[in-house]
Structure 1
């Protein structure tokens, strides 16, 4: 339990880092500083914090600060502006934008007005946007700029439910003459006018909010079928906030960096709701491409990212180390060795022997603390990773350089958090124990099931799918397969629907094999094939950055991604990686052949989800020729 400065404040409440929660997690009503909904907590924070900095964002290369008062005013104007345009309680508003402070203003404004906020990935196509708007029956759509507006203009006739489209960024759109389109400044003006006419209207709407109201729709990217809108209520999010405060304390002085899509539950928790609970400061990365530069400038106290990001940082350090002077390379290797010796203890919550600690202290002073400063990790109390498996060796490397990196597990349907390793109790290779307020069990077929007030309300207008997702006694079926050790640590082994039954009748969980393959720095993703076939094969996506570096170092000629995939030395290197993984598995679980997917995929391709995971069904269909060739 990560409860710094915890003290009893009353019979039913406990204070964690200056915020009051129920003394026992999982109790109804879920209260954060006495508030039972997100808008009520938002109002409480803004009224108390006023001129303190809530957000920072770069403008023309300079970081600018924005206060909690500005957060309140803009959210209020958006909420009241939408009400003046006809928004009714319980109606959906869609947001199609990269991360920026207006995203949060809109989220809080919509919820404050009694609406339901629904994020759309900026990588979604116009056709996908049409599906999401129609499925959610959105009345209003917020778009970031001309690029995202173009998607709406392409499908305007297909989305009749939309009454207004609000644009954040005016650049390139000064001559826009579109009846349904207005700029965010116009909406602010409408909100100000409504506020002047009906003083206290926004506060009155906030007071009407109830814990059971739906706060947001989060469309699951879904590796099969069309996306489904998961309904999360205020209670679900506050329960997640409560669990997070106990297991992953965020402190008031913390600086955080927002860069993953805000329509994903992980970033929404990390950059909107947990900071709202803790009253900490959120900094917006300029773009996904500038994350590493912005990290150096912000030096966040906590940082959550998917494994792909942690791998990129590691690769960047290795490249820099190789380019160093001979003495620099030697010092770096010695420092890492000293760090790894210490990590063997601290990763597992043990105290290292004095000699190990002393050697590390020297190399930390000489090399590692400068490395952390260069990476923007010198103030990092805790790094977090989730959404996909991460290599145990990579976890150890981060602990070695003095960055505690822990792994957790959650999904949209349980508000993003169900188990987590903590600094005090960490077991690499597992995703930790259930967070306070969440119960976990393994069903007879191996499925992981969870129970807690964070379990979602169901799928939007899809009672059939909702019924399938819960057991008769109310537990959430996660669809993941796993096992729990005697200490309560969870290990995830795969997805139920992905289980392969070979022609010989052997049941195989491909996720375990795929995860092992992805631990290679040269492999970014893999799909194991073999259902109703005699043996297993695999389609592999190489890691472009690392494989290009591999080819350049060995002077292997290539002109584009396809020719890189075709290079004999590259294919051999991947074969060596596959063979190394095969040694870990039984004969029937070994990969007998593989092919490389030789096109660069983006989230706009059918084969990838918005969170950059390969969709098994699409991959098998699209690359049928490659698969048939292996058999």
Structure 2
């Protein structure tokens, strides 16, 4: 069988074959190494997938086997996933910062037989766990630095796998084409593990049809062009990355670009100037914090200029949202601001060339959303779920709105059930959870409707509005609605607040635990001449408490009276995924946090001014220690409403 016998493109590897045939010399994927961007054409990309797939076959990898990748975004890790799919296997990306117990659970549950690791750090982690991984047969590493004298028989270098594949091809000349031809659209391409906000993560089985359908729908309603540059920097285990860096890149012929390291992402972003960008709220909030800190650190004249044009931009953005025409003075002011402030800020963020940007994965606060749009960044909301191949709804350029997540994408049906839960149906909906039939039945109805677990409704324009996770929406004792994420996003608009957890369901008032942003609060403290030695020391300073009280008061001024935060506490450590307080995608595990900090919640509502808090800290190898301290609880006076946020 010849590769020319494949007119169909019904699997991801077949799409790669099409791209290599139709655009052989166009850039398929890039990697920045030692300061230089290295490009693989679509032909190079395909050839490496072919050789690695044959290398896997030479090692006994068969249909139905699972291959896990662990590390930062690297072409070799994307190549490995597609190679497994060529052979009818499934890719299982895992979070590179997972602690040992999390890795063991996912790798064992998925029955992964091959791990492709980025470097020595990930190899050491895999080797330390191999005694707990009975299915593991092979560990492949990309970066050989530090691994020259490792003699474990499980270890193979990525390059040696390519060479083994080329040798295998000589002895089996038709093997690759035959295996590629066996692929069917309903074959499982990937097992994507959910973030696990309520317990152990579940493995969502996504077929080639699922991932391709999501990408095709997105292409129909967005300005995506072949050759567009896409920065592949999001965690590979988060399905949002696979949806774009694999699904959309292969369907739409985008060029995926892997940054040199997580530490150089912002620099590489500015250098690349991508055509589009997807980022979770945490990234947009960090960008906003950077802009705010630079504005505060500027000279008095520059700070006044920045503040003036920022205020003008936000007023004009609100006018556009309300459908009000801009005056001549507004337009002239925006033109001047484009030269002096808006354009330079977009340059600093690396977004001058971006035709559109999306935020997804969790709600983004409306103030943060409007800030970026007012500075000329075409930021829009997207809504998705792991079980729906990451893409469900999105906003058009003309309908950007911080309060909705847009309209359903083509061929995706969305409805709201009697309890207010969002349900959806379409070719992007997953095949079920791997080895968890009971969870599948609880999530996927008999006629194919996916129960998302999100509470929402459609507005008058037909746009979907997501309120919060259905299980988190509640009421105060007076019957007022309580949606914690809405309040938390208001608080996190402050550059000094990194995380916030609001409580109020079944209670008489709203209270919040707050984790400061160490970098921005530390910079503020240094300017004030305030000495500190650690996160705990800084968070316990009276001056810092007063600073955060001012920030909470600002947020309260934009909230209805009943939803205003009445009491708050500054945590003496950051909320961490390693401590199970958050998921790897930075979502709060509310049930766990409420149980862990039950003493704090009782103190909030018992009127105490101080509470003893015991915090358990988990190290990467699974060891634990405790941190015990007395923490003050702060009360706030009722805010004087300056404006009401939508």
| Fold conserved between structures, TM > 0.5 | yes
SS in structure 1 at match of 2:348: helix
**Shift of residue 234, structure 1, vs aligned partner:** 0.8
Give the Cα separation in 1 of the matches to 2:299 and 2:569. 38
TM-score of the two chains, using structure 1 as the length reference = 0.89
**Shift of residue 521, structure 1, vs aligned partner:** 2.9
Distance 1:441 1:33, change over 3 A: farther
Q: Is the 8 A contact 2:229 2:254 kept in 1?
A: yes
2:350 pairs with 1:371: no
**Shift of residue 265, structure 1, vs aligned partner:** 1.1
**Shift of residue 349, structure 1, vs aligned partner:** 8.2
The match for 2:488 is: 514
Distance 1:133 1:569, change over 3 A: same
5 Å-filtered alignment, 1:108-257, equals: 108-257=82-231
5 Å-filtered alignment, 1:306-385, equals: 306-344=280-318, 352-385=326-359
Give the Cα separation in 2 of the matches to 1:353 and 1:84. 70
Q: Is the 8 A contact 2:367 2:490 kept in 1?
A: no
2:504 pairs with 1:498: no
Distance 1:425 1:151, change over 3 A: same
Q: Is the 8 A contact 1:348 1:426 kept in 2?
A: no
Partner deviation per Cα, 1:448-503 (whole Å, 9 max, x = no partner): 11111111111001110000002344211110111210111122111122244667
SS in structure 1 at match of 2:305: helix
The match for 1:432 is: 406
Q: Is the 8 A contact 2:417 2:423 kept in 1?
A: yes
Single out whichever of 339-348 and 489-498 deviates more from structure 2.
339-348
Q: Is the 8 A contact 2:8 2:14 kept in 1?
A: no
The match for 1:284 is: 258
**Shift of residue 140, structure 1, vs aligned partner:** 1.1
The match for 1:267 is: 241
What is the CA RMSD across the aligned residues, in angstroms?
Answer: 2.4
Single out whichever of 600-609 and 68-77 deviates more from structure 2.
600-609
> Of 517, 532, 553, which aligns to 1:543?
517
The match for 1:10 is: none
SS in structure 2 at match of 1:54: strand
SS in structure 2 at match of 1:102: helix
Single out whichever of 519-528 and 563-572 deviates more from structure 2.
519-528
The match for 2:626 is: none
Partner deviation per Cα, 1:258-304 (whole Å, 9 max, x = no partner): 11111111111222221212212222112222111111110111011
Give the Cα separation in 2 of the matches to 1:145 and 1:468. 39
Q: Is the 8 A contact 1:33 1:41 kept in 2?
A: no
Question: Structure 1: where are the runs of 5+ without partners?
Answer: 1-31
The match for 2:614 is: none
The match for 1:460 is: 434
Single out whichever of 104-113 and 193-202 deviates more from structure 2.
193-202
SS in structure 1 at match of 2:390: coil
**Shift of residue 347, structure 1, vs aligned partner:** 5.7
**Shift of residue 306, structure 1, vs aligned partner:** 1.2
The match for 1:102 is: 76
The match for 2:625 is: none
Distance 1:502 1:345, change over 3 A: closer
Question: Structure 2: where are the runs of 5+ without partners?
Answer: 1-5, 607-646
Partner deviation per Cα, 1:519-557 (whole Å, 9 max, x = no partner): 333322222334555554322222223322333343333
Q: Is the 8 A contact 1:390 1:519 kept in 2?
A: no
The match for 2:421 is: 447
